[in-house]
Amino acid sequence: KQLIIGLTGGIGSGKTAASDLFANLGIDVIDTDVLARKALELNSPLLSKVFNHFGQQLKLADGSLDRAALRSIIFNDSTAKVWLENLIHPWVKQAVLSALTKATSVYVLLASPLLIESGQVELADRLLIVDLPEEMQISRTASRDNNSPDLVKKIIAQQISRPERLALADDLIDNSGDLNHLEKQVNSLHTKYLELAKLKTN
Ligand code: ATP
């Protein structure tokens, strides 16, 4: 089976920006954030469980989930957070395994904000970390989501620490530069991964 590159990094580090560049190079990207969102899409069986558990006030007029309301519930209530994780994580795990069997590119990128914390890093042959100083994580995330720097700081505090994450890296992207700087690094990693993929299949 193909080479699997695990990609992670703290909030706002640029995982999506980096993944998009790999996707542009023809690499299949499996993004657990995308899958987790899909788990609760309109009319999904998991979504009706969420409504039954937290109440119908989370249902928007079109029947879809009020994600902002759910986020604020789980942010303030750890029992609720655990309940939701226990609902979604097994579904996402299955979806990842299924996507891996369907992937056809020379190597595959498995992108997840919780790759290390969830243990899914075990599925990967190598770990690629997107790294950014915390002040830049805070400023980029706050301006992207239009939320407070304090909220971003709280989320950073809940994630694995930067030194712990960096200690596990096989490869590193320094995303403190501009998008052009990011793209150059992605291109050279792509060349390296194509070589490694060749070695793995031979
Ligand atoms: P999250 O953990 O919240 O999902 P992420 O790691 O996927 O975040 P992105 O959404 O890719 O991070 O990037 C965060 C913000 O920073 C986005 O608005 C993105 O456009 C911007 N950004 C990413 N890389 C750069 C860069 N090199 N220069 C400037 N802005 C960037």
How many angstroms does the Cα of residue 41 sit away from the middle of ligand 1? Answer: 24
How many angstroms does the Cα of residue 145 sit away from the middle of ligand 1? Answer: 10
What dihedral angle (degrees, nearest 10) is formed by the CA atoms of 38, 41, 47, 50? 80
Annotated binding site for ATP: 12-17
Kindly state if the Cβ of 62 falls inside 6 Å of ligand 1: no
- Looking at domain 3-132+162-201, its CATH superfamily turns out to be P-loop containing nucleotide triphosphate hydrolases (3.40.50.300)
At 1 the pLDDT is: 81
126-131/171-174 β-pairing: parallel
How many angstroms does the Cα of residue 91 sit away from the middle of ligand 1? Answer: 26
Each residue's pLDDT expressed in tens, for the chain with a length of 202 residues = 899 999 999 999 999 999 999 999 999 999 999 999 999 999 899 999 999 999 999 999 999 999 989 988 988 899 999 999 999 999 999 999 999 999 999 999 999 999 998 889 999 999 999 999 999 999 999 988 887 888 889 889 989 999 999 999 999 999 999 999 999 999 999 999 999 999 987 6
Q: Any idea where the domains of the chain sit in the sequence?
A: 3-132+162-201
Q: What is the DSSP string of 28-70?
A: EEEEHHHHHHHHTSTT-HHHHHHHHHH-GGGB-TTS-B-HHHH
Kindly state if the Cβ of 11 falls inside 6 Å of ligand 1: yes
- Interface predicted TM-score (ipTM) over 0.95: yes
Query: Considering the entire predicted model, what is its pTM?
Result: 0.92
